[in-house]
Structure 1
């Protein structure tokens, strides 16, 4: 599965807003449209957002009519600013943009055409590294999965949220390949339903045994002893291990702690933000109230009802049994070294 890929002279994205009804691949030839795709969830998931933004910068270089380094730099800085404004919580976005800027600045002595080629190569390298990191992460995480495991996951942290394979679902994939997975409980993940629309779709495609449940069922499942571990992804991890992920993750961590179920986070090392001491400093995106007032096209609440719709919440590190990365498994007290 390749939700993000480059073909010829343009970026191809699998439109995740259309899943599971149809598989539609959209083409992008300018960075402005890439930014809108990130903003409107055509592509989502922190690692996939970072990869997509990197290609957005490569497109900006191709769009630019600059003939000098300084004019190219000005055009690309405009694109980086626009791409950075799309999703404030996912740190992979800013990490990828900083990496692309560094690549640009390192090429100051090169021709403009050579810089364009170098930026595209760097975006492709970010994509390739993400896939490799996900597979390594999956193998590290699979060591934590007992035989016959019943795993609960939230939102979509699969191939669709990355350049391929997945973070939390990558752990599930690796464990499934080893014959360890009895069942995956898939939270529907209100309000945008990434669990039911995307994670369940991936499980069907890969033949992973799963069962879809409403978000409110998680406590009952744990109370009945039907969950052996919880694995989620992450959009930003602070230096102390506090983790921002899809809204509802914190509640699952509290439930898991109460029921003595290990709660794991799987994320690439690029998701760790060492500049933030704790989760209190992580910016939380608030999205369109209409997402809560409807399910798909069906209106489920009065238009006049005020809505609070944070896209993420922060799970304190003390509720996290371990953080799984491509560099290995980290446990508290967390000390992440680049």
Structure 2
């Protein structure tokens, strides 16, 4: 497997300084010299470690093991993984065709079954290769490289558009000027800027919010490890809370919006997102707090009729029973560990995409996003 680990940035060194020095911009993925460099998000915020992938097997592994996470970032990584598979095939002198790359496609597609962006990006790469099959292998590789870069650039553009649209929905209210978010939906989860956290960035810059409540987001703690870091680096006022504290926070009346991302959205608007999102939607409705989902159109699975058809990934028990290798539960405890839950469309006040905002999404309004 084509994997190696560059030297780590010193743990006591500013993470922001190390990150900017590496890439020049806030990005968790970097493709250069036939290598996909992945910022290992399992190590953050205490260690900065990059994984260098030179084949599709490595990319599938870092997706499956959550070194890279967030539906948009997973899609970008998968596109580059497919490109690496194509380069490996061409280097062996084998015919560079869609059929020849089926094994690589399947390996990447199986890495995280719930995130629809993964298969969406792979299918774009497949369509690109199929169109290029009359060309010599070298030109096919060039076309695939251009397509992967296009997928990455498109995600950044979509995030910027969503940030503006979502921020415009938020009206400054001194009594409920805070927002609450779950998991990590920032630059680390995308090709740049972020989805829900992108909206929060723009709303903060425009003076529309006073601050952000951040769920820690058990069991992977993406909120405390990643979202809190991103907000702190940009001097956005935030309060980190336990997931179980969300109800009491919403009851204070200080929160005007709950803003989250999505890993898969069904044709009727039902939305799969990090486990704990559904409970936030129920709590928000009870307390009269608005609920916003921010996701690119590529997250909408038009072939999925509703939330009951969304495959929910089951994760290893150790993620719940241990933290950092420290056992928290009785040894051998039985664990139920779904990575996602499904929020019914009826609990969503606004779905924000790069193509427009849908209020109270349903099958017809979502279909119009693709007109």
TM > 0.5: yes
CA deviations on 1:196-229 (whole Å, 9 max, x unpaired) are 0110011111111111000011000111112111
- The 5 Å alignment of 1:146-185 reads 146-147=171-172, 149-185=177-213
Contact 2:97 2:133 in 1 (8 A): no
Following the alignment from structure 1 to structure 2, what is the Cα–Cα distance between the partners of residues 133 and 39?
25
Contact 2:264 2:300 in 1 (8 A): yes
Higher relative contact order (Cα pairs below 8 Å, separated by 6+ residues): 1
1:83 and 2:111 are equivalent in the alignment: no
What's the counterpart of residue 164 of structure 2?
A: 139
What's the counterpart of residue 321 of structure 2?
A: 293
What's the counterpart of residue 130 of structure 1?
A: 155
Contact 1:72 1:112 in 2 (8 A): no
Following the alignment from structure 1 to structure 2, what is the Cα–Cα distance between the partners of residues 75 and 139?
42
Contact 1:66 1:72 in 2 (8 A): no
- The Cα of 1:25 is off from its aligned counterpart by 2.1
Q: Secondary structure at the match of 1:181?
A: coil
Contact 1:68 1:112 in 2 (8 A): no
- The Cα of 1:181 is off from its aligned counterpart by 2.2
What's the counterpart of residue 3 of structure 1?
A: 28
What's the counterpart of residue 262 of structure 1?
A: 290
Contact 2:291 2:348 in 1 (8 A): yes
Q: Secondary structure at the match of 2:255?
A: coil
- The Cα of 1:251 is off from its aligned counterpart by 0.2
1:308 and 2:339 are equivalent in the alignment: no
Following the alignment from structure 1 to structure 2, what is the Cα–Cα distance between the partners of residues 322 and 60?
39
> Scaled by the length of structure 2, what TM-score is found?
0.89
What's the counterpart of residue 4 of structure 2?
A: none
Following the alignment from structure 1 to structure 2, what is the Cα–Cα distance between the partners of residues 23 and 263?
34
User: How big is the alpha-carbon RMSD for the aligned residues of Structure 1 and Structure 2?
Assistant: 1.2
What's the counterpart of residue 8 of structure 2?
A: none
- The Cα of 1:297 is off from its aligned counterpart by 2.1
What's the counterpart of residue 29 of structure 1?
A: 54
CA deviations on 1:166-201 (whole Å, 9 max, x unpaired) are 000010011112122211000000011010011001
1:56 and 2:94 are equivalent in the alignment: no
Following the alignment from structure 2 to structure 1, what is the Cα–Cα distance between the partners of residues 181 and 294?
11
Following the alignment from structure 1 to structure 2, what is the Cα–Cα distance between the partners of residues 112 and 20?
42
Contact 2:270 2:344 in 1 (8 A): yes
- The Cα of 1:67 is off from its aligned counterpart by 4.2
Q: Secondary structure at the match of 1:11?
A: strand
Q: Secondary structure at the match of 1:152?
A: strand
What's the counterpart of residue 197 of structure 1?
A: 225
**272, 279, 289: which one aligns with 1:251:** 279
Contact 1:67 1:112 in 2 (8 A): no
Q: Which runs of 5+ in 2 are unaligned?
A: 1-25
Following the alignment from structure 1 to structure 2, what is the Cα–Cα distance between the partners of residues 180 and 75?
52
1:105 and 2:130 are equivalent in the alignment: yes
Q: Which runs of 5+ in 1 are unaligned?
A: none
Q: Secondary structure at the match of 1:142?
A: helix
1:12 and 2:8 are equivalent in the alignment: no
What's the counterpart of residue 243 of structure 2?
A: 215
Following the alignment from structure 2 to structure 1, what is the Cα–Cα distance between the partners of residues 37 and 223?
23
Alignment size in residue pairs: 337
Following the alignment from structure 1 to structure 2, what is the Cα–Cα distance between the partners of residues 131 and 5?
14
Q: Secondary structure at the match of 1:57?
A: helix
Following the alignment from structure 2 to structure 1, what is the Cα–Cα distance between the partners of residues 115 and 125?
16
Following the alignment from structure 1 to structure 2, what is the Cα–Cα distance between the partners of residues 200 and 156?
9
Following the alignment from structure 1 to structure 2, what is the Cα–Cα distance between the partners of residues 283 and 152?
27
Following the alignment from structure 2 to structure 1, what is the Cα–Cα distance between the partners of residues 46 and 92?
42
